[in-house]
Amino acid sequence: MRPINWCPPIELSSAEEKVVKRIKRAKLFTFLRHHRHQLFDDTFQEELAQLFKDSSVGQAPIYPAQLALATILQAYTDVSDDEVIEVLLMDRRWQLVLDCLDCEQAPFGKGTFVRFRAMLIAKDFDRRLIELTVEMAQQKGGFSARHLRAALDSSPLWGAARVEDTYNLLGHALRKALDIIAHDQGRDLKEVATEAGAPWVADSSLKAALDLDWDDPAAKTQALSTILQALNQMEGLLQQSPQATPQAVQAATENMAVARQIQQQDVEVEPDGSPKLRKGTAKDRRITIEDAQMRHGRKSRKQRFDGYKRHVLRDLDGGLVRAVGLTPANLPEATVTDDIIADLKDQSVTLRELHIDRAYLASHLVKHRAEDLTIFCKAWPVRNGDRFTKQAFTLDWSAQRIHCPNGVRLPFEPGKVVRFPAETCADCPLQQQCTTSKKGRSVSIHPDEQLFAELRQRQVTPAGRAQLRQRVQVEHSLAQVSQWQGDKARYHSQRKNLFDLRRIAVVHNLHVIARMPDPPPGEIAA
């Protein structure tokens, strides 16, 4: 059976009017009550119906559109899944929006709500929710629907999982594996751990259970040996665990693999065969057991954080968030742009201006930009002590020649280094101001030097600097996103947190739309 469309009344009932009058601060409830039929119009509800046609989610009388609205409200009010069901019964603002005023029973249960979210994620339909707000805003007009001027920036999102040191990471992975087996066999964890020869695994604090002097390097080596020995034993036991179901063995094996991952990244072996912790941090080091994608990252050289970077692309004309991305904290900002392009793909929009900071200059979006895309960004500073910088040299792009301050011309190629002849520089009257090298002056030409030259040129004029300042608008959007989402992730896993960011973008956009003036009667923006 296909899910059916939700058709709540458009006009307010007298009871609803009373609720609306009492809402003083959380105005998104009022906005959604007035505009839910526009946001979830028949066309969109048909899309939802298609999406859930083979699922038990959204069967009558549970409407997918109602679940989608609750998903947005959950992000707006920052409540847990359990609390969603609670507020549906106790908060008249939720009831107002979901058309269940004074209901005795919630329109759906927690299980349905959680399954709906999983389906949205699995089918990548959370992206469609952002598009929906863009379409709604375009109905109001006031900005170009086809040409986009946008600014992109990111802020840290701390991960939700606990970051642990190597000993605890290994102990945590082993405990999870044994816990799965114990649960599968209906036994106590302590009993299973003792049987596996590692009773300390069952303890909530591995360091306390091992009862060692953790300031003593020899004791640390001993602890590492004990833990790794237990890992070997448990892997052996798992392979011959006749009482456990294949599913439990599979899940426990996955946790053992995580323990091995921790071992490989953090532990090395001394010549005498004893294990020791590796010095320094391994590349792409796993830092938690519960969230495989969380990573160490840096806000600045001195400030570190653990988790993700959330990226937001703001429309500089409409004020909407048009695309978002989430990357592990250790990845460069530039890696997010493929996700941003994917978000924009179905919005039928051409990016005409991109305002970024220098961290995004290495991105695919910049390197392989279309001819009609203009990049706005502060150029990298060019320094050369008190001698001529690269800016003292003129690049003639039509002739592909570089002119030095003394008028010497040489051909250049982007991505290569130009070397001025040593004998020419030695005889040059400007040599003291230019170079101390006996081999003559060299100038490296970046593969995207033309863009860099443009950026440098732009920032020397007041008009160019004013254009650069437009990027600050995306910082305002990031601040609002942070206000609703907080600085700590809600979920374990990159994809779930991306989902959360997308629905926060929806909340942001609905606020922007609520502030937009209505188009004159009878006029609908193209």
Chosen residue from 8, 199, 405, 464 binding ligand SF4 by CB under 6 A: 405
> Cβ distance 510 to 28 under 8 Å?
yes
Chosen residue from 228, 292, 430, 516 binding ligand SF4 by CB under 6 A: 430
- Residue range at the interface with ligand SF4 (CB under 6 A); choices 252-260, 363-371, 403-411, 502-510: 403-411
Question: Mapping DSSP to helix (H, G, I), strand (E, B) and coil, where does residue 53 land?
Answer: coil
Smallest CA-to-CA distance from 306 within 329, 288, 285 is with 329
Closer of 348 and 432 to ligand SF4 (Cβ): 432
- Residue range at the interface with ligand SF4 (CB under 6 A); choices 106-114, 427-435, 448-456, 517-525: 427-435
Closer of 434 and 498 to ligand SF4 (Cβ): 434
Site for ligand SF4 contains 431 (CB under 6 A): yes
- Residue 326: CB partners within 8 Å, gap ≥ 6? 157, 308, 309, 310, 311, 336, 339, 494, 497, 498, 501
Site for ligand SF4 contains 434 (CB under 6 A): yes
**Count of Cβ atoms closer than 10 Å to residue 372 Cβ:** 10
Site for ligand SF4 contains 395 (CB under 6 A): no
Site for ligand SF4 contains 194 (CB under 6 A): no
Site for ligand SF4 contains 418 (CB under 6 A): no
Closer of 389 and 450 to ligand SF4 (Cβ): 389
CB of 342 to ligand SF4, least distance (A): 46
- CA-to-CA distance for 192 and 198, rounded, in angstroms? 9
Backbone angles phi, psi at 297, to 5 degrees: -145, 180
Chosen residue from 119, 148, 425, 505 binding ligand SF4 by CB under 6 A: 425
Site for ligand SF4 contains 420 (CB under 6 A): yes
- Residue range at the interface with ligand SF4 (CB under 6 A); choices 180-188, 404-412, 445-453, 490-498: 404-412
Closer of 80 and 394 to ligand SF4 (Cβ): 394
> Cβ distance 148 to 322 under 8 Å?
yes
Handedness of CA 514, 515, 516, 522 (dihedral sign): positive
Q: Which residues of 315-340 are buried (b: 16+ CB within 10 A; e: fewer)?
A: bbebbbbbbbbbbbbbeebbbbbebb
- Residue range at the interface with ligand SF4 (CB under 6 A); choices 42-50, 66-74, 349-357, 424-432: 424-432
Closer of 408 and 516 to ligand SF4 (Cβ): 408
Closer of 39 and 425 to ligand SF4 (Cβ): 425
Closer of 424 and 473 to ligand SF4 (Cβ): 424
CB of 393 to ligand SF4, least distance (A): 8
417 forms beta bridges with 444
- Residue range at the interface with ligand SF4 (CB under 6 A); choices 104-112, 369-377, 400-408, 509-517: 400-408
Closer of 406 and 470 to ligand SF4 (Cβ): 406
Q: Which residues of 68-80 are buried (b: 16+ CB within 10 A; e: fewer)?
A: bbbbbbbbbbebe
Backbone angles phi, psi at 172, to 5 degrees: -65, -45
Chosen residue from 12, 408, 468, 516 binding ligand SF4 by CB under 6 A: 408
- Residue range at the interface with ligand SF4 (CB under 6 A); choices 181-189, 297-305, 431-439, 506-514: 431-439
In this structure, are strands 350-355 and 442-444 parallel, antiparallel, or unpaired?
unpaired
Q: How many residues bind ligand SF4 (CB under 6 A)?
A: 14
- CA-to-CA distance for 340 and 337, rounded, in angstroms? 5
Question: Any alpha helices (H) in 382-493, and if so which ranges?
Answer: 422-426, 431-434, 449-458, 462-469, 472-485
Smallest CA-to-CA distance from 344 within 320, 363, 367 is with 320
CB of 452 to ligand SF4, least distance (A): 20
**Residue owning tokens 């200059």:** 361
147 forms beta bridges with 350
Chosen residue from 435, 493, 494, 497 binding ligand SF4 by CB under 6 A: 435
Q: Which residues of 223-250 are buried (b: 16+ CB within 10 A; e: fewer)?
A: bbeebbebbeebbebbeebeebeeebbe
The alpha carbon torsion through 259, 262, 265, 266 (nearest 10 deg) reads: -120
Chosen residue from 144, 424, 470, 473 binding ligand SF4 by CB under 6 A: 424
- Residue range at the interface with ligand SF4 (CB under 6 A); choices 172-180, 209-217, 338-346, 425-433: 425-433
- Residue range at the interface with ligand SF4 (CB under 6 A); choices 11-19, 207-215, 286-294, 399-407: 399-407
Chosen residue from 224, 230, 336, 404 binding ligand SF4 by CB under 6 A: 404
Question: Any alpha helices (H) in 186-329, and if so which ranges?
Answer: 189-195, 206-210, 217-239, 246-266
Q: Can you give the binding site for ligand SF4, defined by CB under 6 A?
A: 404-406, 408, 420, 424-425, 428, 430-431, 434-435, 440-441
